[in-house]
Amino acid sequence: MNTNIQSKNKGKLPPVKLYDKKTIDKMRERLCRAESDGVLNEKNRLVHKILWEGCHGWKNIHDAIVVAQYEEVYGEYKK
């Protein structure tokens, strides 16, 4: 595993398939949307913004964690 990735996360990362940044951002957005939809309906976009930009929001979660979570919930990313 890439030690640079581990040092950024300060912990062990799950082994994941490699995706480009644009695809990981799409995964991040879908996970964030699914989480915000579970909390409140689409009328309240504030929850989405908080989950997206919050101090521990999807935008701030390490790419490897995003990929692992996405594949656990949705399976392998399909274009």
DSSP one-letter code for 69: H
Q: Quickly state the pLDDT bin for 16 (edges 50, 70, 90).
A: confident
pLDDT digits (tens, 9 = 90+) for 21-70: 999 999 999 988 888 776 666 566 777 777 777 667 788 889 999 999 89
Distance CA 69, CA 79 (A): 17
Query: At residue 14, does pLDDT exceed 80?
Result: yes
Contact indicator for 54, 4 with CB cutoff of 8 Å: no
Closest CA to 16 of 68, 76, 72, 70: 68
Residue 21: per-residue pLDDT: 92
